[in-house]
């Protein structure tokens, strides 16, 4: 782990550098608060542990701590103040400025090592919490079966894309995609086969749609695709590609299955609400199914 040493005293600075290097840390050394702040706020890979002298040119240690806490947008940095001050009110002021801990000058190597280990444990715990938060975010927004956005998340994205289209005078289309005769598939081949089909349909639709599209599971066997920048003609053309991609046999544990989808397309008009856009796509989907399924229909 990279540790920043900020100390204007050359003797103390060299002692810290030698000690930390001997313990296996990577070390970055600066001799004033301005450079310390720049290192801690830089993009890329800033140091996550820092030993900051209280008294330094430019900015003192507490000022560096205070500014880092106010401005940092990156991962948390654990800041240790190095000070000759013994007054309790001074030490409290340093901690209130944003320091995580302090150690007195001249430093005791054993104490320094212990306090750095505390910092490492805190940073490790933070990393675990961030990973857990990321996992919870995925669970909250993704459909467990298909991996696509769930209904709530895809509706939120549709609202966002409608706002963007209105702001930029852009185009936007929505596709509602229904797997044909899906209930019959579940009844004849079992729900396991139905799940396999839905997963594979999602994969194929995602491959065809490309990175600009937003795909979600709208409910049951019905999927939705939000297509920013697509007018009705472009959306229908893409929907035809999706329909053809799904029509190829889908391998399942029950054997290869030939499935089709019906797709309804709705295209946004200025001032149109999300509910109206979805309703138009739904009516187009109904016409596609009434006309024999395995086809694409667009709202007028």
Domain ranges of the chain: 2-139, 151-298
Which residues, listed in sequence order, are joined to residue 5 by a DSSP beta bridge? 29, 51
CATH fold of 151-298: Alpha-Beta Plaits (3.30.70)
Gap between the Cα atoms of 234 and 211, Å rounded: 15
pLDDT score of 75:
85
Contacts of 39 (CB under 8 A, 6+ apart): 4, 6, 28, 30, 46, 47
Q: Helices then strands (H, E): number in the chain?
A: 10, 10
pLDDT score of 86:
74
Q: What dotted CATH number matches 2-139?
A: 3.40.50.2300
Q: Is 221 labeled as catalytic in the residue annotation? A: yes
Q: What is the CA radius of gyration of the chain?
A: 29
Length of the chain: 300
DSSP H/E element including 78 = strand 78-83
pLDDT score of 36:
96
How confident is the model over 220-259, as pLDDT tens digits?
A: 899 999 999 999 999 999 999 999 999 999 999 889 999 9
- Contact between 220 and 178 (Cβ < 8 Å): no
pTM attached to this predicted model? 0.62
- The single residue of 53, 60, 206, 221 carrying the catalytic annotation is 221
Which residues, listed in sequence order, are joined to residue 222 by a DSSP beta bridge? 178, 219
Which residues, listed in sequence order, are joined to residue 23 by a DSSP beta bridge? none
């Amino acid at each position: 782990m990279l540790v920043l040493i900020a100390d204007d005293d050359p003797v103390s600075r060299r002692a810290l550098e030698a000690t930390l290097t001997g313990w296996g840390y990577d070390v970055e050394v600066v001799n004033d608060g301005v450079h310390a702040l720049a290192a801690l706020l830089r993009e890329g890979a800033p140091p996550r542990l820092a030993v900051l002298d209280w008294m330094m040119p430019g900015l003192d240690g507490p000022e560096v701590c205070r500014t880092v806490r106010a401005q940092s947008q990156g991962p948390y940095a654990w800041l240790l103040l190095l000070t000759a001050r013994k007054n309790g009110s001074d030490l409290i002021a340093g901690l209130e400025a944003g320091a995580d801990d302090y150690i007195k000058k001249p430093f005791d190597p054993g104490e320094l090592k212990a306090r750095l280990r505390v910092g490492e444990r805190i940073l490790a715990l933070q990393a675990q919490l961030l990973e857990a938060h990321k996992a919870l975010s995925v669970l909250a927004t993704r459909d467990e079966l298909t991996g696509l956005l769930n209904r709530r998340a895809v509706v939120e994205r549709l609202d966002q894309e409608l706002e963007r289209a209105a702001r930029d005078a852009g185009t936007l289309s929505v596709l509602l995609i229904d797997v044909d005769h899906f209930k019959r598939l579940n009844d004849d081949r079992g729900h396991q086969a139905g799940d396999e089909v839905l997963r594979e349909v999602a994969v194929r639709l995602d491959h065809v749609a490309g990175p600009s599209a937003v795909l979600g599971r709208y409910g049951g066997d019905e999927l939705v695709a939000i297509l920013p920048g697509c007018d009705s003609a472009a959306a229908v053309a893409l929907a035809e590609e999706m329909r053809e991609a799904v029509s190829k046999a889908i391998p399942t544990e029950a054997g290869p299955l030939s499935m089709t989808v019906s797709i309804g397309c709705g295209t946004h008009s200025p001032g149109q609400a999300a509910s109206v856009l979805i309703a138009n796509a739904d009516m187009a989907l109904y016409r596609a199914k009434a006309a024999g399924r395995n086809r694409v229909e667009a709202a007028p």
